[in-house]
């Protein structure tokens, strides 16, 4: 007999405000311990020096992680002019220095060239794999890391403040795969300066916002008072922006057996009307919808040819309105 996985069945999302000097994996482990949850994961890595929004999925919510990862992200970050580092942030060794301190007008004049679909070279100190090895492992070992430019989408990039000649504060709204550290490197090059990320905070991931986030200290205190579950958001939270299909109890039974259900002409037409281009994990997801039994997600599936075929089934206790 296989060993039974330790922990409790806990399903939902914790919208964590990650502290600095903690890896995303450490944050997930801390939340998992608080809930004694069997299964946990996160929707998008934050660097140890970064703070802010880290959506953590527990139990059945881990099945919706790809949807959260594909959502837009918003970052606020501070650039310190005068020094570039090998890691492109405050943790690294200084590799170049300059007396250039760009004025606000000079900075704003170059920002438009970084908006839209652009080619961006990821940082050498990143989790991207090179011949099976993590780039940051190779870089830390002293090897030269050459990463190819990748297309990323930057929806908005603006200068929020320049509190001193040495510092500039930005906000960036972007798609999956964009690196703030690379953006800072490229902005610095565009204004003829040296610079690195001095502070970084993520304030939005898809439908998750920082206003709804809870700190580890707050979550720990809630747990001591037996109230940790009050911070748990529903599994369906990550699926708010995909079409929903209302299903019956009998249809839920069929979906959980992996069987398709027949769509009424009206249902098929409504789902078609709500389609939009979407990719999840590199695959076309424009025909996906979530089957809802009341307020509870029963399955994620694909609507085509008058049927709804389940691709991911949830094992959740129905919530009654």
Task: Return per-residue pLDDT of the chain as tens, 321 residues.
Answer: 444 467 889 999 999 999 999 999 999 999 999 999 999 999 988 988 999 999 999 999 999 999 998 889 999 999 999 999 999 999 899 999 999 999 999 999 999 999 999 999 888 876 777 767 777 676 677 777 777 899 999 999 999 999 999 999 999 999 988 999 999 999 999 999 999 999 999 999 998 999 999 999 999 999 999 999 999 999 999 998 899 999 999 999 999 999 999 999 999 999 999 998 888 878 888 999 999 999 999 999 999 999 999 999 999 877 654
Distance CA 251, CA 141 (A): 55
Active site residues: 47
Residue appearing with tokens 């170059």: 110
- pLDDT at residue 319, as a whole number: 66
Task: Find out whether 258 and 310 touch, Cβ atoms under 8 Å.
Answer: yes
User: 29 vs 35, 43, 122, CA distance in Å?
Assistant: 10, 14, 27
Q: Token match 């059945």: residue?
A: 60
DSSP string for residues in 112-155: GGGSEEEEEPPPSSSS-EETTEEHHHHHHTT-------EEEEEE
Query: How far apart are the C-alpha atoms of 109 and 107, rounded to whole Å?
Result: 5
HSE-CB of 11 using CA atoms within 13 angstroms = 17
This prediction has a pTM of 0.89
User: Are 51 and 22 a contacting pair, CB within 8 Å?
Assistant: no
CA distances from 25 to 28, 123, 175, 182 (A): 5, 20, 22, 22
Q: Which long-range contacts (CB under 8 A, 24 or more apart) does 268-273 make?
A: 268/303, 268/306, 270/243, 271/243, 271/245, 271/303, 272/303
* Phi-psi category of residue 97: left, alpha or beta, with phi > 0 → left and psi -120 to 50 → alpha: beta
Could you give the 3-state DSSP secondary structure of residue 209?
strand
* pLDDT at residue 5, as a whole number: 60
End-to-end CA distance of the chain: 40
The single residue listed with the structure tokens 């964009």 is 178
Beta strands in 19-149 (DSSP E): 40-42, 51-58, 73-81, 83-85, 94-97, 116-120, 129-130, 133-134
- Token reading at 238: 């990550």
Taking the CA atoms of residue 8, residue 12, residue 15 and residue 20 in that order, the dihedral angle to the nearest 10 degrees is: 30
Residue with the two structure tokens 């109890």: 249
pLDDT at 66: 92
Strands 73-81 and 94-97: unpaired
Give the span between the Cα atoms of 80 and 13, in whole angstroms.
34
Per-residue model confidence (pLDDT) at position 312: 94
């Amino acid at each position: 007999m296989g060993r039974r996985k330790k922990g409790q069945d806990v399903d939902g999302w914790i919208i964590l405000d990650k502290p600095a000097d903690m890896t995303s994996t450490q944050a997930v482990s801390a939340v998992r311990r608080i809930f004694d949850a069997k299964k946990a994961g996160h929707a998008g890595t934050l660097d140890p020096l970064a703070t802010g929004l880290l959506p953590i999925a527990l139990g059945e919510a881990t099945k919706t992680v790809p949807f959260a990862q594909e959502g837009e992200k918003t970052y606020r970050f501070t650039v310190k002019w005068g020094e570039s580092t090998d890691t492109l942030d405050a943790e690294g060794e200084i590799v170049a220095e300059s007396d250039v301190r760009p004025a606000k007008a000079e900075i704003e004049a170059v920002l438009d060239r970084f908006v839209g679909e652009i080619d961006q070279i990821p940082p050498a100190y990143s989790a991207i794999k090179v011949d099976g090895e993590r780039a940051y492992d190779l870089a830390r070992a002293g090897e030269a890391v050459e990463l190819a430019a990748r297309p990323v989408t930057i929806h908005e990039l603006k200068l929020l403040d320049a509190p001193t000649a040495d510092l500039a504060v930005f906000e960036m709204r972007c798609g999956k795969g964009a690196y703030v550290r690379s953006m800072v490197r490229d902005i610095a090059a565009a204004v003829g300066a040296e610079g690195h990320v001095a502070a970084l905070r993520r304030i939005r991931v898809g439908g998750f916002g920082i206003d709804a986030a809870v700190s580890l200290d707050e979550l720990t205190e809630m747990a001591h008072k037996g109230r940790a579950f009050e911070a748990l958001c529903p599994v369906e939270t990550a699926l708010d922006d995909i079409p929903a299909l209302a299903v019956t109890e009998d249809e839920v039974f069929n979906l959980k057996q992996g069987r398709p259900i027949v769509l009424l002409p009206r249902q098929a037409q409504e789902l078609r009307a709500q389609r939009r281009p979407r990719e999840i994990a590199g695959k076309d997801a424009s025909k996906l919808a979530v089957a809802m039994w009341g307020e509870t997600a029963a399955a994620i599936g694909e609507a085509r040819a008058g049927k709804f075929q389940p691709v991911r089934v949830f094992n959740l206790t129905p919530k009654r309105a």
